[in-house]
Structure 1
Amino acid sequence: MSGLREKQKADRERRILQAAVTKFRADGYRAVRIEDLAEMAEVSVGTVYNYYQTKGDILIATVAMEVEEVLTAGEQILRDPPHGVSAALLTLIFSYYDHSLEYLSKEMWRTAMALAIEAPGTPNGRRYFELDQRLAAQVTELVIALQDRGDVRPDLDARAMGTLLFNNLNQMFLEFVRNDAMTLKALRDQVAAQTRPIAQLIAVS
């Protein structure tokens, strides 16, 4: 019976998050009420509060859902990175970008970032930055993997380089979500232009 209860619990949470993705994207985060999400998810308002204390909790949970899928896809890239430092780095970075609007709109990303920055010591703030740290760690793991394969210079501080690469891709993503007119192609093109010279500098010649 406990297995069935867990399955039912997971299904209710999934429906709440799917409702949040749909309603936040369609109506805007600030316009949506908890009652709207409960109605769309076909659960009671009390049930929503059993899972999440605030609407912000639900938004950060959608970010976590997004990042978990991105990290899983990144693990597959790490198992067999493309040949060439530039190709390997951009494959991982683009996998992050290409999935970034799967669940969240730019407005949702801006709001989630604001929640995390305004209250970094809250559970939401800590969770958001923990997700960032996991993405940064994955970029670093790729640099280490390329170094182990002999593609990246052995004297390079792979952890420092991984942090630098992540900080740049993260800053550029911030620019992307800040600017509603900026396309995904423009983001990819700009980051590729920034990453390729770095790849040339750290690659074994």
Structure 2
Amino acid sequence: MTEKKNRIPMDPAKVKRILHASLAVFSAHSYRGAKTDEIAEQAEVSKGIIFRYYGDKAHLYIATLKFATDNLTQVVDYSVWQDARSLDEMIVNATKYKIQLQLQFPNEFKLLLDAYAGLGDAPAKLKHKVTEFYANQTNDNIGNLIDPILDRLAIRDDVDKATIQRLMVGMMDQVAAETKTFMQDNPEADLTDFDKIITHVRQYIDILEHGFLKKS
């Protein structure tokens, strides 16, 4: 994965066509199977323009991940998370909502799920960049999504929100590991196939909220 150097100004119209085309091709064929020739053809640009703009296929893939994420961010309704009365309700509501979004944005979800699953035999540097991308997304969103719920819960006086957030991040890391393994074992899975993982998440949240010791 070489450093990207823009040698010519980037035409916004061409960038838009390239990213729409790369989203379609990467989501259909994953990273290894995607061909820059097909992306160039769909975008109606030369292959040389793609490499001048993005440097290499790996940088184009990362740019496409960001493009897919931005597409979803522009329409996502955060109140689905923030208005939940409990963390458990948040998980249930968010899962149903994500399934609805998946039907509206199939290419975005296919690309993001493929990337989340680990990219198979893609270059190690690209895998590292993708892992870093998802870690940043989690860190940026976790407080924004759960803080309104925590503000409504009767939290013990000796526990601060920052501690709960760190526990939530740790829990999400565990869920991420389970999800990645599931996606690697079931590459054609979509969000409707995640019942077992959702059950685990609800169990983790129940223990987080109520502990794991019997009440005396």
TM-score using structure 2 length: 0.68
Work out which of the residue numbers 40, 48, 61 in structure 2 matches 1:59.
61
Q: 1: CA distance between counterparts of 2:178 and 2:96? A: 12
Is residue 86–residue 200 contact of structure 1 (8 Å, CA) maintained in 2?
A: yes
Listed one character per residue, the Cα deviations across residues 45-95 of structure 1 (whole Å, up to 9, x for unaligned) are 222122211111222222222333445566723773222220113434665
**Stretch deviating more after TM superposition (25-34 or 50-59):** 25-34
In structure 1, list runs of 5 or more residues that go unmatched.
1-5
Higher helix share goes to which structure? 1
**Counterpart Cα distance in 2 of 1:94 and 1:129:** 27
In the TM superposition, what are the counterparts of 1:104-143 in structure 2 within 5 Å? 104-105=110-111, 110=117, 112=119, 115=122, 118-119=124-125, 125-126=128-129, 128-143=131-146
Question: CA–CA distance in 2 between the matches of 1:200 and 1:30?
Answer: 40
Identity of aligned residues (%): 15
Range with bigger deviation, 133-142 or 103-112? 103-112
Query: What displacement does 1:133 show?
Result: 2.1
Q: How far off its partner does 1:152 sit?
A: 5.2
Q: Which residue of 2 aligns with 1:185?
A: 192
Q: Distance in 2 between matches of 1:170 and 1:53?
A: 30
The 2-side partners of 1:71 and 1:165 are apart by: 23
Amino acid at match of 1:87: E
Contact 1:172/1:191 (<8 A) preserved: yes
Structure 2 segments unaligned to the other structure (5+ residues)? 1-8, 212-216
Distance 1:28 1:85, change over 3 A: closer
The change in CA–CA distance for 1:126 and 1:28 in structure 2 (over 3 A counts) is closer
Paired residue secondary structure (1:174): helix
Report what 2:207 is aligned to.
201
* Distance in 2 between residues matched to 1:21 and 1:135, nearest whole Å: 22
- Indicate the residue corresponding to 1:145 in structure 2: 148
SS of the aligned residue for 2:93 comes to: helix
Q: Deviations over 1:76-134 (max 9, x none)?
A: 23773222220113434665676495333565655647657x127xxx84465134222
Q: Is the CA contact (8 Å cut-off) linking 1:15 and 1:41 kept in structure 2? A: yes
Amino acid at match of 2:43: A
CA-CA distance at 1:169 after TM superposition:
2.9
Aligned counterparts of 2:89 and 2:62: Cα–Cα separation in 1: 31
**Kindly tell me: are residues 110 and 164 of structure 1, through their superposed partners in 2, closer, same or farther at Cα, counting changes over 3 Å?**
closer
In structure 1, what is the equivalent of residue 4 of structure 2?
A: none
Structure 1 residue identity aligned to 2:132: F
Deviation at 1:182, TM superposition (A): 4.0
Q: Partner amino acid for 1:150?
A: L
Task: Tell me the TM-score normalised to structure 1 length.
Answer: 0.71
RMSD: 3.6
Residues 61 and 90 of structure 1: CA distance in aligned 2, closer, same or farther (over 3 Å): farther
CA distance in 2 between counterparts of 1:94 and 1:113 reads 28
Q: How many aligned residue pairs are there?
A: 194
Structure 1 stretch displaced more, 96-105 or 155-164: 96-105
CA distance in 2, matches of 1:139, 1:82: 14
Residue type matched to 1:20 in 2? S
Q: 1:73 to 1:32 in 2, by over 3 A?
A: closer
1:96 to 1:61, Cα distance in 2 relative to 1, 3 A: farther
